[in-house]
C-alpha cells in the first residue's frame, strides 16, 4: 500500500496494512518521522474519515485543507477529520516522531443503502475537521485492531463496527437512540438457524439483516436486545460450544478441533476458549473425562 503522492522528506512508512468490510476500506499506516512534515493524504477521490490513533513527539498532526492554510484550531488528542469525496487534506507537524494513521475510505452510497437512509442533505458534503467523538474514535480503534485477525467471526465483528461508524456519521442524531425492541420470535429463529447452518464460516451482518428486512444498524441492536450478545459474539460462543462437543466426543487433537471450528490454529483456539470458559481446552477436556 503506497501513497499516490511523494512522501515528505522527513517521513517514511514503517508498516501498512488494510482490510475491507462492506462499504468500508480501512488503511492503517505507521509513519516514522524525523522532523517537520507536510504530507498530502491519499485517496481524496473518496469520502474519508481520518483518525490519528497514536502520535509521539513535541507536536501534534494538524489537518489542513491546503498546504499553506494552517488550521485556526490547535490540534487535540483524538481529533477526527471527515472529508467528502473530491476534497484534498494535508497533515502538518513541526516536530513529530511517530504517527499511526487510520484512513477509512467510505462508499457513502453503499453505506446509506445499508442504513436505509434517504439522499444526503447539503451538510453531508461539508468537511468536518478536528471534531471530537469518543465513541466514534473507539469504534475506529477497534476496527484497526481487527485488521489482521483471520478468525471467521471477525467478519461479523467488522460489519458491526463499520455499521456503527457509518450510523454515527450519516444517520440523523435522533435515530441513533436504540429502541428497546428486539427481534420477533420468527426473526430470531431465522437468525439462529442461519448462523448454525453456516458454522464456522464467515457470515455478513447484511445477510442476517436481510432475513429480517431490517437495516444492519437496527438489526444489530435488535439482535443484542433479544440475545444479550452482538451477532459476532453469539457466533463465537457457538463455535466454542461446537468445540466442546468435539473435545468430549472425539480424540481429535487440539489443532484438529481448532481447524474444524474455524480457528486459525491451536494457539488462537486455546486463547479464545480460555477467555470464554476460564480454562484451556486441554484442561477443560481432562476435567470432564477423568
* pTM for this prediction: 0.84
Q: What whole-number distance in Å separates Cα of residue 200 and Cα of residue 83?
A: 38
Domain membership of residue 96 as a residue range: 11-145
Q: Are residues 131 and 198 in the same domain?
A: no
Count CA within 13 A, CB hemisphere, residue 210.
8
Domain boundary residue, one of 92, 120, 145: 145
In a domain, 167, yes or no: no
Q: What whole-number distance in Å separates Cα of residue 180 and Cα of residue 239?
A: 28
Q: Are residues 15 and 58 in the same domain?
A: yes
Structurally, the chain folds into a number of domains equal to 2
Q: Are residues 135 and 183 in the same domain?
A: no
Q: Are residues 107 and 37 in the same domain?
A: yes
Return the pLDDT at 23. Answer: 86
Return the pLDDT at 122. Answer: 57
Burial class (CB in 10 A: 0-12, 13-18, 19+), 250: exposed
Per-residue pLDDT of the chain (290 residues; tens, 9 = 90+): 556 678 988 999 999 999 999 889 999 999 999 989 999 998 899 999 999 999 999 888 999 999 999 988 888 888 899 999 999 999 999 999 999 999 999 998 888 887 777 776 655 667 888 998 999 999 999 999 999 999 999 999 999 999 999 888 887 654 444 456 889 989 999 999 999 999 999 999 999 999 998 888 889 989 999 999 999 999 999 999 999 999 999 999 999 999 999 999 999 999 999 999 999 999 999 988 87
Answer yes or no: are the C-beta atoms of 269 and 263 closer than 8 Å: yes
> What's 25's domain CATH number?
2.60.120.10
Q: Where does the chain show beta strands of DSSP type E? A: 11-21, 24-40, 47-57, 62-64, 80-83, 90-106, 128-131
Amino acid at each position: 500500500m503506497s501513497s499516490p503522492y511523494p512522501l515528505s522528506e522527513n517521513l517514511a512508512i514503517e508498516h501498512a496494512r488494510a482490510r475491507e468490510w462492506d462499504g468500508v476500506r480501512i488503511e492503517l499506516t505507521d509513519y516514522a518521522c524525523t522532523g517537520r512534515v507536510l504530507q498530502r493524504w491519499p485517496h481524496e477521490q473518496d469520502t474519508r474519515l481520518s483518525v490519528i490513533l497514536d502520535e509521539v513527539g513535541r507536536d501534534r498532526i494538524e489537518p489542513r485543507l491546503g498546504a499553506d492554510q494552517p488550521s485556526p484550531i490547535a490540534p487535540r488528542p483524538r481529533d477526527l477529520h471527515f472529508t467528502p469525496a473530491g476534497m484534498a487534506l494535508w497533515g502538518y507537524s513541526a516536530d513529530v516522531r511517530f504517527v499511526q494513521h487510520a484512513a477509512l475510505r467510505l462508499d457513502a452510497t453503499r453505506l446509506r443503502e445499508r442504513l436505509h437512509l434517504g439522499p444526503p442533505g447539503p451538510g453531508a458534503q461539508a468537511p468536518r475537521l478536528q471534531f471530537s467523538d469518543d465513541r466514534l474514535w473507539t469504534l475506529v480503534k477497534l476496527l484497526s485492531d481487527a485488521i489482521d485477525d483471520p478468525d471467521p467471526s471477525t467478519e461479523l465483528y467488522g460489519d458491526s463496527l463499520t455499521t456503527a461508524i457509518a450510523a454515527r456519521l450519516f444517520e440523523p442524531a435522533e435515530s441513533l437512540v436504540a429502541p428497546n425492541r428486539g427481534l420477533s420470535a420468527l426473526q430470531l429463529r431465522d437468525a439462529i438457524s442461519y448462523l448454525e447452518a453456516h458454522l464456522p464460516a464467515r457470515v455478513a451482518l447484511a445477510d442476517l439483516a436481510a432475513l429480517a428486512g431490517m437495516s444492519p444498524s437496527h438489526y444489530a441492536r435488535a439482535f443484542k436486545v433479544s440475545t444479550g450478545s452482538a451477532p459476532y459474539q453469539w457466533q463465537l460462543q457457538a463455535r466454542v460450544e461446537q468445540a466442546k462437543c468435539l473435545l468430549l466426543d472425539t480424540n481429535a487433537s487440539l489443532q484438529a478441533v481448532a481447524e474444524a471450528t474455524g480457528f486459525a490454529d491451536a494457539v488462537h483456539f486455546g486463547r479464545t476458549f480460555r477467555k470464554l470458559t476460564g480454562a484451556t481446552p486441554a484442561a477443560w477436556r481432562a476435567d470432564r473425562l477423568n
